[in-house]
Amino acid sequence: MDTLFTIDYKDYEPGWKTSSRPSARAIILMNDKSQPISPEDKIALVYAKNLGYYKFPGGGIKDREENTTALIREVAEETGLEVIPESIKEYGVVRRLMKSEMLPETIFIQDSFHYFCTVKNSAEGIPAIRKQNLDNYEKDDGFELRFVSLKEAVQTNLQFKSENPSKLVMIARETHVMTKLCGLPELMPRAYAEYLLKSAVAKNPGPWREHSLAVAEAAEKIAIAINEHSALNGNESAIMNPDLAYTCGLLHDIGRQAGHTYIAHVYDGYNFLKSLGYEFAAKICLTHSFNIQSTDEYIGKIDISAEKMEEVKALLAAAKYDDYDRLIQMLDATCGADGTKNLEARMNDVKLRYGYYPESKMKKNFELKEYFEKLMGRNLYEVIK
């Protein structure tokens, strides 16, 4: 089966033993299957009404159970729908690796095998629904069958809040599959991004937390302001996704979790988010320090090997800058950790701390400010204050 993406927390030693618990998950589309899947398409999902999230019907494959047998059983248990065995078609697998919470020195591997399938209809031509058979945790979450658009399910999951990391990890995975399935941008639940930042700050506490939060909040506000202005003048191509802007802003400095580093935080942040399966946010980690698309005149030390530096150069040269890259570059240069949101003040502060600030980068930041002010039809500071 094709790999959709891999989620590797790399919080374990490579030599540890492994334990695995594969699962089978169903993609039950209600619309015409001959068309490419769109965000508007309706799908049968499990809605956890006591917590407010959507997931694909499915669950763990038992010992010696066939994947498809598990799929049919799990769909029946969680939703009461009856899968037509002949309709089952592979979609892709998501592999997750992380330190086991149960066993010492063990890597927990979970493969989630996703399958397209259709379900039996009643005489009236609508899906036949039998009684669910839920286990206790499914009852606690309030599992029920819902027919919703993928867009609505993703939107709901983006707002999902929980203090439970394993729930956040699970819902981030489900959301990621949903966005991939229907061609939405690579969105992640806001609470998941907040959890990643919180865990990272715990490893290396510092003012970069406040800086990251300030960039995230400002990025969201600017995206909303751009959308308001675009609606007025019909400039649809300028529309930005506020949730994506927020999470990109929140995670742009995530590489700082490794300690007080310079260009290494760019490299580490990129690789960290990439290993979690988030290519888009990883690219922001890479590009946020280079408003001019080059590693020349990097403000700070080159604290990575020559080999890694070549890698950064090649990745940067291949990157295609879009408005999310540009937005986080500008805000990184605007938002201080002390709550200040002023481009000149922040650039002067950086100049004081690092000894210099290249003229070309300064000029570029002012250009970016102007660029976004034009898209918003408003003054930057008025929007992000």
Length of the chain: 385
Of 220 and 253, CB closest to Fe ion: 253
Of 169 and 193, CB closest to Fe ion: 193
Least Å from the CB of residue 76 to Fe ion? 49
Q: Where are the alpha helices (DSSP H) in the chain?
A: 67-79, 136-141, 150-158, 165-182, 190-203, 208-233, 242-251, 263-275, 279-287, 306-318, 323-332, 343-354, 359-376, 380-384
Alpha-carbon distance of 263 to 139, in angstroms, equals 48
Of 127 and 249, CB closest to Fe ion: 249
The DSSP bridge pattern shows strands 143-149 and 42-48 to be antiparallel
Of 116 and 262, CB closest to Fe ion: 262
The CA distances from residue 15 to 46, 96, 107, 108, in Å, are 37, 17, 9, 13
Least Å from the CB of residue 208 to Fe ion? 8
How crowded is residue 183: how many other Cβ atoms within 10 Å of its Cβ?
Answer: 11
Least Å from the CB of residue 367 to Fe ion? 20
Alpha-carbon dihedral 60, 65, 68, 70, rounded to 10 degrees: -40
Amino acid at 182: C
- List Cβ neighbours of 197 (8 Å cut-off, separation of 6 or more): 209, 212, 213, 250, 251, 254
Cβ(248)–Cβ(328) under 8 Å?
yes
Site residues for Fe ion per CB under 5 A: 253
Of 79 and 212, CB closest to Fe ion: 212
Least Å from the CB of residue 214 to Fe ion? 13
Of 167 and 209, CB closest to Fe ion: 209
Amino acid at 261: T
The CA distances from residue 126 to 80, 119, 256, in Å, are 13, 10, 52
Of 127 and 269, CB closest to Fe ion: 269
Among all residues, whose Cβ is closest to Fe ion?
253
Least Å from the CB of residue 373 to Fe ion? 23
